[in-house]
Amino acid sequence: MSKKSKKPIWERAYKGHVYWQGKTKLGKVTLAEQGRYSWEAAGRGGSAEGLEKAKRAVEAAVAMADKQLDLFSEKA
């Protein structure tokens, strides 16, 4: 199984969740206060009202970072 074909998974952690692809940490969601979660992924961050919304925000940030072109790439 190649590295690119591994599907990212969510793992529960203390007061939050972490998004992993193999041994690479892609993002995390932590409990900020009751019912409010903060998230960090791909150089971005934010907060959301619920866990599912925060997880979706992490997944979207990772997907967008994966599709973004390299600014200083030699290739056209």
| Residue 13 located in a structural domain | yes
Helix (H) or strand (E) holding 9: strand 9-13
State how many domains the chain has: 1
For the chain, report the end-to-end CA distance as a whole number of angstroms.
30
| Residue 51 located in a structural domain | yes
| Residue 3 located in a structural domain | no
pTM for the complete prediction?
A: 0.80
| Residue 2 located in a structural domain | no
Domain span including residue 31: 9-66
Say how far apart CA 2 and CA 17 lie, in whole Å. Answer: 25
Confidence of residue 75 (pLDDT cuts 50, 70, 90): low
Nearest CA among 36, 44, 43, 1 for reference residue 15: 36
Residue pLDDT, tens place only, 19-69: 999 999 999 999 999 989 999 999 999 999 999 999 999 999 999 987 766
Say how far apart CA 16 and CA 48 lie, in whole Å. Answer: 13
| Residue 29 located in a structural domain | yes
